[in-house]
């Protein structure tokens, strides 16, 4: 009996030491709370157990489990799950939130780097130092904008791939220098397009007047990424052809940043991207597209959006058995949900056109997007009509307007006919022939409008999109 009591006390002290080691130091309490308790002793020959926090396979045995729970990988995942910072990221729990991280830690740890804007204050200071000469203010502003854009991209990455090894692989594809270069290319093309419209006598109607403020209003912004579309290669002949899909991702991210900041205004946006199935490359593409879809909320004059996935790479995926498509629907669901939020916030939107090979776009987010597009104008019309309500709008100037004038304002703010969702799926029998994906496509529309007219409009815009390119991929 005495030996049993002594053994129990020894085990209790050992457990106390383990708890004390996990709970000591700044921020360690969250790791202790997030650690997964080890089950009872595993029988001989038991299979490895899986950690609910990290998803790692842990060998059977209490010692292996305690070592895993005390390890850096487990604590980082526990920190990201339990200590959210703005946008869903968190630094590791063994770092003090109040004390600034060391330069070595800020560059080595992706979570701390993302939380501090992709390199922390030291990187921003270095960028400002390089811009000390003539024009240094513009260079410093461009660098700061690129750093802020990279921070937003990295805050979105965990929603697509989590915070494990895939996070690092995706984060490496968003380089601040490359984003700054893509931003300069984009704004340069927008300025050239604005001067072209001014010199042509304002051929775009109200576009010339809109180009004098925050940026140029582009009637059609065609973006061909990474050689996937084949339509914008002439526009990108002066750029580095070796960047591949990565340069296209940076161009999309730069476009998202410019739209968010109001540096460019668009009425019609057309984006063509390649069919990428590689995990990190595909996630980087959908991260950039998600930010682009969210930035569309800042475009109150947006009328049409066209997002096309080029079918050229899809034929190779089919020849390999199609296994690469399994991870695409969850990634593209994030893009469609962001597009749904933009459609709900833009009553001016008249058409959303999606083109993709089969199996890329998940059906549930598509149905939610269709419902949001159909209801987008209802909220805006109700808000305008609230201005003439006897109580809700008793101080609103709309109450003194004639009915005919009020009807014109209402139709301009939110047209009665709902927007349309046009969906086109590439014909699998023609994917290897290089034909246009719209030749054998199916289309569906939301609302009561006829979808045939929208099909013709979208087809015409895609056929001459290369001549209207304002920014292109590398």
Cβ–Cβ under 8 Å, residues 271 and 306: yes
Cβ–Cβ under 8 Å, residues 151 and 176: no
Q: What pLDDT band is residue 156 in, cutting at 50, 70 and 90?
A: very high
Q: Is the pLDDT of residue 90 over 90?
A: no
Q: Is the pLDDT of residue 334 over 90?
A: yes
Q: Is the pLDDT of residue 196 over 90?
A: no
Q: What pLDDT band is residue 416 in, cutting at 50, 70 and 90?
A: confident
b/e burial code for range 299-318 (CB count within 10 A of at least 16 → b): beebbbbbbbbbbbbbbebb
Q: What mean pLDDT is reported for the chain?
A: 67
Report the alpha-carbon distance of residue 463 to residue 164 in Å, rounded: 42
Sheet of strand 351-356: strand arrangement: 221-224, 268-273, 304-309, 351-356, 420-425
pLDDT higher for 447 or 369?
369
Of 120, 90, 88, the closest CA to residue 105 belongs to: 120
pLDDT at 22: 38
Which single residue is written with the structure tokens 């005390």? 70
pLDDT higher for 108 or 192?
192
Cβ–Cβ under 8 Å, residues 153 and 172: no
Q: 3-class DSSP state for residue 288?
A: helix
Of 169, 175, 219, the closest CA to residue 193 belongs to: 219
pLDDT single digits (tens) 118-131: 433 333 333 333 33
Hey, what are 183's tokens? Answer: 């931003």
Cβ–Cβ under 8 Å, residues 231 and 466: yes
**Can you list the alpha helix ranges (DSSP code H) found in 224-269?**
245-261
pTM: 0.57
Cβ–Cβ under 8 Å, residues 283 and 161: yes
pLDDT at 384: 81
**Can you list the alpha helix ranges (DSSP code H) found in 200-244?**
207-210
CA 317 to chain centre: 24
3-state helix, strand, coil in the chain (%, to 5): 55, 10, 35
Using N-to-C axis directions, what is the helix angle for 176-199 and 245-261, rounded to 10°? 60
């Amino acid at each position: 009996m005495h030996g049993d009591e002594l053994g129990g006390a020894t085990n209790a002290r050992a457990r106390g030491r383990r708890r004390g080691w996990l709970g000591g130091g700044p921020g360690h309490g969250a790791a202790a709370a997030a650690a997964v308790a080890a089950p009872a002793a595993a029988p001989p020959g038991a299979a490895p157990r899986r950690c609910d926090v990290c998803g790692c396979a842990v060998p059977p045995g209490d010692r292996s489990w305690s070592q895993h729970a005390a390890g850096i990988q487990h604590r980082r995942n526990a920190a990201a799950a339990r200590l959210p910072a703005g946008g869903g990221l968190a630094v590791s729990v063994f770092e003090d939130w109040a004390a600034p991280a060391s330069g070595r830690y800020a560059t080595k740890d992706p979570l701390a780097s993302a939380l501090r804007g992709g390199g922390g204050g030291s990187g921003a200071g270095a960028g400002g130092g390089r811009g000390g000469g003539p024009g240094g203010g513009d260079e410093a502003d461009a660098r700061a904008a690129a750093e802020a854009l990279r921070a937003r991209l990295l805050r979105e990455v965990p929603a697509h791939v989590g915070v494990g090894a895939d996070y690092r692989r995706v984060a490496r594809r968003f380089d601040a220098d490359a984003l700054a270069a893509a931003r300069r290319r984009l704004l340069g093309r927008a300025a050239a397009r604005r001067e072209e419209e001014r010199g042509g006598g304002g051929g775009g109607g109200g576009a010339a007047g809109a180009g004098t403020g925050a940026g140029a209003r582009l009637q059609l912004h065609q973006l061909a990424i990474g050689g996937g579309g084949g339509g914008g290669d002439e526009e990108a002949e002066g750029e580095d052809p070796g960047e591949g899909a990565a340069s296209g991702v940076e161009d999309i991210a730069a476009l998202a940043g410019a739209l968010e900041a109001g540096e460019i205004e668009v009425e019609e946006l057309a984006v063509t991207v390649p069919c990428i199935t590689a995990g990190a490359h595909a996630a980087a593409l959908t991260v950039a597209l998600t930010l682009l879809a969210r930035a569309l909320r800042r475009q109150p004059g947006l009328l049409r959006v066209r997002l096309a996935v080029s079918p050229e790479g899809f034929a190779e995926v089919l020849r390999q058995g199609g296994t690469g498509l399994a991870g695409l629907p969850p990634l593209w669901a994030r893009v469609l949900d962001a597009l749904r939020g933009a459609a709900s916030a833009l009553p001016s939107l008249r058409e959303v056109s999606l083109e993709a090979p089969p199996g890329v776009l998940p059906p549930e987010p598509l149905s939610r997007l269709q419902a949001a597009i159909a209801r987008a104008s209802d909220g805006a019309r109700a808000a305008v009509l609230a201005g003439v309500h006897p109580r809700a709008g008793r101080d609103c100037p709309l109450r003194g307007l004639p009915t005919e004038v009020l009807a014109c304002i209402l139709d301009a703010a939110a047209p009665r006919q709902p927007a349309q969702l046009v969906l086109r799926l590439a014909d699998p029998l023609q994917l290897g022939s290089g034909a246009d994906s719209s030749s054998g496509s199916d289309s569906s529309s939301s609302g009561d409008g006829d979808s045939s007219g929208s099909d013709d409009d979208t087809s015409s815009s895609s056929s001459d999109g290369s001549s209207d390119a304002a920014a292109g991929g590398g």
